[in-house]
Amino acid sequence: MENQDNEDSFTSLVHTFNPKSEKWDVPKITGKEPSKRGYMQAVITNDGIIYSFGGRDGLIYFNDMILLDTNELKWSYANRFQSN
């Protein structure tokens, strides 16, 4: 995310929207925050867990599964995957 001067204005991986106040906030999330990346795939389960796989940052490609528990506001990681 860049501002009008093409400077990186990235502040957080997660933002929440409050429809009553019509404002965006950055929630406090525990656990080790993953590195910034794009081009990832994600799904959310009915129990509020977001599973995000892979992605890349420039020429760095990720092969990992990151979990965000939206109820507990906590980051965690699944076991590492091996590529053959």
Instruction: Provide the residue ranges of all domains of the chain, joining segments of one domain with +.
Output: 28-77
Q: What is the pLDDT of residues 9-21, one digit of tens each?
A: 567 788 889 999 9
pLDDT per position as a tens digit, 40-84: 999 999 999 999 999 999 999 999 999 999 999 999 998 755 554
Q: Which residue has the tokens 């965690």?
A: 76
Say what the pTM is. Answer: 0.75
| Residue 36 neighbours by CB under 8 Å, 6+ apart | 10, 13, 57
Q: What is the mean pLDDT of residues 23-34?
A: 92
What is the tally of helices (H) and strands (E) in the chain? 0, 8
